[in-house]
């Protein structure tokens, strides 16, 4: 059974938190070659950060974090395990985060995913830029 979880780092089950960080390390550090200093940036520890994840049979298949220290809020660290891609899990998480935020939400989207985020209601707000050596585009979801 697939479930969506949501918690701050302080409230997260340590085993789930471990699986979230393991998945993010797999996707961002091993697959995308982002150095771990940029991936583990300390923002997860902030009281205004909420982690979201999809879990199935005790395995975290997708995750993201929502930073709510400012308006607009910011979605980031969207990651899906290779074996779970194409199932719509990340889209489900983004929708859950948008609902939870209750405000406009920005994202620094990897440029190749601009169309995917566009289908979720995000629009481009500026020019492409490099972040962690990867082409990104700023996007915004405006709350109706």
DSSP line for 51-70: EEEEEETTEEEEEEEEE-SS
Query: What integer is the mean pLDDT of 96-123?
Result: 97
Q: What is the pLDDT of residue 34?
A: 82
pLDDT at 35 > cutoff 90:
no
Q: Residue 86's pLDDT band (boundaries 50, 70, 90)?
A: very high
Per-residue pLDDT at 37 exceeds 80: no
Banded pLDDT at 99 (limits 50, 70, 90)? very high
- 7-17 pLDDT, tens digit each: 999 999 999 99
pLDDT band at 50 (very low <50, low <70, confident <90, very high): very high
Q: What are phi and psi of 139, to 5 degrees?
A: -140, 160
Sign of CA dihedral 74, 123, 24, 36: negative
d(CA 28, CA 102): 28
pLDDT in tens, 51-80: 999 999 999 999 999 999 999 999 999 999
pLDDT band at residue 88 using 50, 70 and 90 as cut-offs: very high
Is the confidence at residue 36, as pLDDT, over 70?
Answer: no
CA dihedral 55, 44, 11, 117 (to 10 degrees): -40
């Amino acid at each position: 059974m697939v479930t969506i979880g949501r918690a701050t780092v302080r409230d997260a089950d340590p085993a789930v938190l471990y699986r979230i960080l393991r998945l993010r390390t797999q996707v961002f550090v091993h697959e995308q070659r982002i150095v771990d200093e940029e991936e583990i940036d300390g923002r997860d520890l902030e009281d205004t950060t909420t982690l979201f994840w999809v879990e199935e049979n005790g395995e975290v298949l997708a995750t993201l974090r929502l930073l709510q220290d400012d308006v607009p809020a910011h979605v980031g660290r969207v990651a899906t395990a290779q074996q779970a891609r194409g199932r719509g899990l990340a889209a489900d998480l983004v929708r859950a985060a948008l609902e939870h935020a209750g405000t406009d939400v920005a994202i620094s989207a990897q440029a190749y995913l601009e169309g995917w985020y566009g289908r979720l209601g995000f629009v481009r707000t500026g020019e492409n830029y490099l972040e962690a050596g990867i082409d990104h585009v700023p996007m915004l979801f405006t709350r109706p």
